[in-house]
Structure 1
Amino acid sequence: MTYPELYILRHGQTEWNAEDRMQGWLNSPLTPKGEMDAARQGEILRDLDLTGFEFWSSPSGRAVQTAGIACGPLAEAVHTDTRLREIGVGDWAGRLRAELPQGTGDDPYMAQYEMAPNGEGLAAVEARCLSFLSEMKRPTVLITHGITSRVIRSIVVGKDALANPSIHGGQGCVYHLKGGTQKMLT
């Protein structure tokens, strides 16, 4: 399937990111670094022609806070959609990663999300991201989360979008997806 042009932002660093704590559907505020991450994303976006673009954000506080900093001066409105929220980590929400069983395989970091008791799982995240993307009609700026960004980029561009994965998933940068390719703007 072909999708409209996308710019994808991950929320800025949060207090829990800095502590290496699982957030999932819970929230913690941006750190001063996170506010700088969002400001940097805003600088990147200001240099682009976003005429005709829609702006959509996860409803999580950290994403909305990032959207306000990065997109507030640019967007007439930023809409929210729960399908853009982060992967649910069930019983592990709020826990330090170091306290949890470690994942195995090619990507132990991602495997840990599949292990979370009562967690959402990657297949469910992919289903809701596909649902959101199938309704897109216009070029869009998305403000979302690390895992959700990875899933969306993998759907739109393919597995090559994750060739150089970062557990930080793009804090402070913007991913540009167009014509089946991805470029990271910094």
Structure 2
Amino acid sequence: MMTASTKPLELYLIRHGQTEWNVADKMQGWLDSPLTARGKSQLDRVCWPAFGAIYCSDLGRAMASARRIARRQKTLIIADARLRERYFGTLQGKAIPTTAHGALGCAYQQRDWLQLHALAQVEPEATLWARIQSWLGSARKRHRFDDRPIAVVTHGEWIHTFLQHYQPARQASRLFANGQTLALNFKE
């Protein structure tokens, strides 16, 4: 018999739609850039299930994406700062570093978060991981008696880190594409 505490949480992890800075290959982090026409259509063309709630990062691009998803259903949108993208420190608003950028570029390409924190004040892995765990704990408590799926509109590094810890077999070496969705039953 499945009890409320053992019932899997059906999550739809959704990366926000494409933004102007995604097109320009700029690091966004906690800064923002508006959705492009393509970013809007990435979200509009999907037939979404009836969500019990739509959680989203409190950053503009995720909130705009969540509003597009919610347009066809009367679902509560809950903005939550714990769903924000990784803070990219002094890299925010700048071109995505490549190996041509020396140590900084190599650290970014290798996802060496300790080195990136030292070089550019990028949010450490442990801090992002703590935000993810905190949000998951809250969502599990809030939705323990709700059988409807939950949308989580967030960012590439958030999803990547979630999968790295909870679904390592599914984890891709690349970030999710803008507007990409992964449905999964989450049970710790």
TM band (smaller chain): 0.7 to 0.9
TM-score, normalised relative to structure 2: 0.79
CA RMSD of aligned residues (A): 2.4
* 2:183 is the alignment partner of 1:173: no
* 2:142 is the alignment partner of 1:143: no
The aligned residue for residue 118 of structure 1 is 121
Partners of 2:66 and 2:38 in 1: CA distance = 15
* 2:10 is the alignment partner of 1:8: no
Classify 1:179/1:130 alpha carbon distance in 2 versus 1 (closer, same or farther; 3 Å).
Answer: closer
The aligned residue for residue 85 of structure 1 is 84
Partners of 2:186 and 2:96 in 1: CA distance = 37
Classify 1:6/1:108 alpha carbon distance in 2 versus 1 (closer, same or farther; 3 Å).
Answer: same
Classify 1:171/1:44 alpha carbon distance in 2 versus 1 (closer, same or farther; 3 Å).
Answer: farther
Residue 8 of structure 1 deviates from its aligned partner by: 0.9
Classify 1:81/1:62 alpha carbon distance in 2 versus 1 (closer, same or farther; 3 Å).
Answer: same
Residue 78 of structure 1 deviates from its aligned partner by: 0.3
The aligned residue for residue 132 of structure 1 is 135
* 2:63 is the alignment partner of 1:64: yes
Q: Structure 1 residue aligned with 2:39, among 30, 34, 46? A: 34
Q: Unaligned regions of 5+ residues in structure 1, if any? A: 181-186
Residue 172 of structure 1 deviates from its aligned partner by: 2.6
Classify 1:143/1:135 alpha carbon distance in 2 versus 1 (closer, same or farther; 3 Å).
Answer: same
Q: Unaligned regions of 5+ residues in structure 2, if any? A: 144-148
Q: Could you tell me which amino acid in structure 2 is paired with residue 178 of structure 1? A: N
Give CA deviations for 1:33-76 in whole Å, capped at 9, x if unaligned.
Answer: 11111213xx231xx3x36x221100100001111112232242
The alignment partner of 1:9 has SS state of: strand
Q: Could you tell me which amino acid in structure 2 is paired with residue 88 of structure 1? A: Y
Q: Could you tell me which amino acid in structure 1 is paired with residue 44 of structure 2? A: A
Q: More displaced, 1-10 or 139-148? A: 1-10
Instruction: State how many pairs are aligned.
Output: 169
Q: Structure 2 residue aligned with 1:18, among 14, 23, 33? A: 23
8 Å CA contact 2:113, 2:123 repeated in 1: no
Partners of 1:15 and 1:25 in 2: CA distance = 15
Q: More displaced, 95-104 or 67-76? A: 95-104
TM-score, normalised relative to structure 1: 0.80
Rg larger for: 2
The aligned residue for residue 96 of structure 1 is 95
